[in-house]
Structure 1
Amino acid sequence: MRVMVFVKATSDSEKGFNPRDPWTAECMVAMGKFNEELQAAGILRMGDGLTPSSQGKRVAFDGAKRLVIDGPFAETKELVAGFWLWDVKDMDEAVAWVKRCPNPMPGPSEIEIRPLYELDDFT
């Protein structure tokens, strides 16, 4: 089962990460170790962090019209700060791995797990 694991953005992640900040350095070490564990377990397919939404754009669709919207985007709690793509046996395994994850933010944070559609879902 493939799942996308989203690290939800916070006001801290929307400020961007400062490599000189002691928390950032500590978090990078902890996340690096966690990613190595995911790799060793054969679960990790891909993962990365995203820059703040101030550096992003959205394209809104309405029929044939397209509207480009510049970041930052207002609803921080709805944004994604990073992601992993995992291959796990089931949702329980994905939850167990997320519970082992270091807190990705200096304060309260959330990680969301969503299964990907598989070809069998359409047959």
Structure 2
Amino acid sequence: MRFMLIIKATNVSESGQQSSREVLEAMRKYNEQLARAGVLLAFEDLLPSSSGTRLSYPVPGDEAVMEEGPFNKARDLVAGYTLIEVRSREEAIEWAFRMPDPHGFGEGEIELRQVNEMPKKYL
């Protein structure tokens, strides 16, 4: 089972401010633990939404409408992710609880979501 640990953005991460050395070191150690356990598939931080583009489809059947960042409501945005493959939802939750505060300012929020495993015939 694959799960994504979605690191939610904060006003600080949206400002482009770099995390402290302590936070970066804690995240490095966490990712090493995931890798040693053989469950880590990928992890990435994302640039602030000011560098992003959003496409929406407000009218069914019409072409997409493009909006340039930054986007409002930092808490609704994604600042990064970690993708893991584990045996159960419970194991995924255990790993999520081990992740340190991803921003280090007491504002960190992690959303855990299971990946929808599409049948190979649709790939």
Give TM-score, length-normalised by structure 2: 0.88
Residue 100, structure 1, aligned to residue 95, structure 2? no
Q: Percent identity?
A: 40
1:36-75 matches, within 5 Å, as 36-61=32-57, 62=59, 63-75=61-73
Post-superposition offset of 1:17: 2.8
Deviations 1:70-119 (A, max 9, x none): 11111211100000111011111111111111111212221011111124
1:1-123 matches, within 5 Å, as 1-18=1-18, 24-61=20-57, 62=59, 63-105=61-103, 106-119=105-118
Q: Is the 8 A contact 1:17 1:24 kept in 2?
A: no
Instruction: State the alpha-carbon separation in 2 of the partners of residues 98 and 4 from structure 1.
Output: 10
Gaps of 5+ in 2: none
**Runs of 4+ more than 3 Å apart:** none
Gaps of 5+ in 1: none
Across the two proteins, how many residue pairs are aligned to each other? Answer: 117
